[in-house]
Chains A and B, each alone.
Chain A
Amino acid sequence: EVQLVESGGGLVQPGGSLRLSCAASGFTFSSYWMSWVRQAPGKGLEWVANIKQDGSEKYYVDSVKGRFTISRDNAKNSLYLQMNSLRAEDTAVYYCARQDDYGDYADYWGQGTLVTVSS
């Protein structure tokens, strides 16, 4: 059974940093693109970043470029999102998602972790 479990969310002040983790199990982690998708309270889904199987390609939504970094450790079956210079508008539930072989769509999602940026 595919399982994705996010952790690392919480309350952080504007300008602060946070690192999200996603523990994957039930599939060969190194064979799939992986993504982070967020959802602000009461709003729609917004793709944040994704990363290729070997980490050689990474893509970001414009609003987080230069502030967020996606990474993965295939030996630990783990996905990460380092978030720096956080802003109030980054407040959201962050989902970890497994993508298909080409990074086109997400076929499995975690339950999400809430990040709140507030003073």
Chain B
Amino acid sequence: SYELTQPPSVSVSPGQTARITCSGDALPKQYAYWYQQKPGQAPVLVIYKDSERPSGIPERFSGSSSGTTVTLTISGVQAEDEADYYCQSADSSGTSPVVFGGGTKLTVL
């Protein structure tokens, strides 16, 4: 089955830039999406179609794509950004329209 691979954890100090990667063979052909989930809360969409930001999401959140890797970048990280982040895409073979990465725990030191 198709897999999206994320690092289990990323740590940064406040004000620094956090980069969370997501790798998958189909990413050159499929868009990627990113969700933020804080403890005890439902996920929130922060990036769609690789690099688009939904209304209400701070400008410090951005997304990019290069080959089989997509990256969520959080510039000027704030304490409130500490959360789990999940990438999501689709299996281009059509067997699974929605696939999530394993998630990355962002810790703000």
Contacts and interface: CB of A to CB of B under 8 A. Distances in A.
A116 interface: no
A104 B88 CA distance: 9
Nearest to A6: B42
A89 to B, nearest CB: 16
A81 to B, nearest CB: 15
B54 A107 contact: yes
A59 B95 CA distance: 8
B102 interface: yes
B99 A45 contact: no
A47 B96 contact: yes
A45 B100 contact: yes
Is the contact region of chain B dominated by helix, strand, or loop, or is it mixed?
loop
A50 interface: yes
Interface residues of B, number: 24
A62 interface: yes
A106 B99 contact: no
Interface range, A side = 20 to 34
Given A44-B84, A105-B98, A109-B44, 13 more contacts: A35-B98, A37-B43, A37-B98, A44-B101, A45-B103, A47-B100, A50-B97, A59-B98, A103-B98, A104-B97, A109-B43, A110-B42, A111-B41
Interface of A: 35, 37, 44-47, 50, 59, 61-62, 95, 100, 103-107, 109-112
28 contacts: A37-B43, A37-B100, A44-B86, A44-B100, A45-B35, A45-B37, A45-B43, A45-B100, A47-B96, A47-B99, A47-B100, A50-B97, A61-B96, A62-B1, A62-B96, A95-B43, A104-B33, A104-B97, A105-B33, A105-B48, A105-B88, A105-B98, A107-B45, A107-B48, A109-B42, A109-B44, A110-B42, A112-B42
